[in-house]
Amino acid sequence: MKNIDAITNLYARKELNFLGGQARFDREHENKRILLSFANSIQERDIVTYDHSRRVGTYAQRLARYVGWSRRDARDLALAALVHDLGKTWIANDILLKADTLSDEERKTMERHPLIGARILIGCDVHPFYVETVLYHHEAWDGRGYPSGLKGEEIPLSARILTVADVYDVLTSQRPYKAALSKDAARERLLSGSGTSFDPMIVRAFLNLLDSEPQFTLPQRICAIPAVAKPAYHAASSARV
């Protein structure tokens, strides 16, 4: 894993060069275009992952705002969340959609998805913020996560926020291999992972947010982030449904 870390570090240093005015605007616009285009590709490949990613984006954005991020930074995190599982689009269906428990070999294949997603994004020259967030969204606070085994604050804050939002949505969603947990049961699972899987400060903030907003949990297939605009041919063909 050291290679990918070296790549993103180098990339981050390159990005530190100041971009001002129009150049910065153009760069942000290009990032957004690329990320939304990847979100479209996830939607075409796997609607469950796409819907999950949209809900995670909403949760992560609200959580980021709650812990004091600017509107703009929180929006960038929502964009990263939309493509956090981009690497899964390259995992075979017999693993991706398997209803039974994954074998060790299959689990290892599945655990490559943050790295695959990050490599795709690096290839498109998007800002390192998005690359890091995607790459590290399965790291754990105690260092037992993957792909790099980063620990505590070594893990970028964006990824620590995304992890909590991601896990909450997985817990409260139905999947081929599991039933959906209630909000209270999911709350307990997050609490039990605080300090081991998750940053305790982020868990505390998330639970406060959950408690203060009774309608916080989004229904399946509905989400606050607007749907990614479809190309014209898609809109026309969908009229047959």
Contact 150, 139 (CB under 8 A): yes
What CA–CA distance (Å, rounded) separates 54 from 66? 18
The DSSP result for 11-59, as a single string, is HHHHHTS---HHHHHHHHHHHHHHHHHHHHHHHHH-HHHHHHHHHHHHH
- Residues 113-132 binding Fe ion (CB under 5 A) are none
Which x/- pattern, by CB under 5 A, does the window 82-101 give for Fe ion? ---x----------------
As a whole number of Å, the CA-based R_g of the chain is 18
Strands (E), 32-178: none
Task: Provide the minimum distance between the beta carbon of 64 and Fe ion in the complex, in angstroms, as a whole number.
Answer: 18
46 binds Fe ion (CB under 5 A): no
Query: Which region among 29-37, 39-47, 49-57, 77-85 touches Fe ion (by CB under 5 A)?
Result: 77-85
Closer residue to Fe ion, CB minimum distance, 85 or 199: 85
In eight-state DSSP terms, residue 229 is: P
Closer residue to Fe ion, CB minimum distance, 159 or 205: 159
Q: Which residue has the CB atom at the shortest distance from Fe ion?
A: 85
Which x/- pattern, by CB under 5 A, does the window 143-182 give for Fe ion? ----------------------------------------
- Give the binding site for Fe ion (CB under 5 A): 85
